[in-house]
């Protein structure tokens, strides 16, 4: 099966952007979770 390099690059770009989007979502969730944790700790200590 012969695939031209241009379509390969396009597929790679799509995969990369998908992974970047996923990574951003995960980091946002982690940041939110950590912030909530810290916030609840502050309330707990007050």
pLDDT of the residue at 20: 94
Over the stretch 1-46, which tens digit does the pLDDT of each residue have?
Answer: 566 777 888 899 999 999 999 999 999 999 999 988 887 776 665 5
pLDDT of residue 36: 86
3 state SS of 4: coil
Taking the model in full, what pTM does it have?
A: 0.56
Q: How far apart are CA 10 and CA 7, in angstroms?
A: 5
Domain ranges across the chain: 1-46
Distance between first and last Cα of the chain: 66
Nearest to 12, CA basis, from 22, 20, 23, 2: 20
In which residue are the tokens 């969730």 written? 29
| Token pair in block for residue 40 | 């609840």
């Amino acid at each position: 099966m012969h695939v031209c390099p241009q379509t390969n690059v396009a597929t790679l770009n799509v995969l990369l952007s998908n992974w970047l989007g996923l990574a951003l979502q995960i980091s946002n969730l982690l940041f939110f979770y950590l912030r909530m944790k810290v916030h609840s700790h502050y309330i707990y200590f007050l």
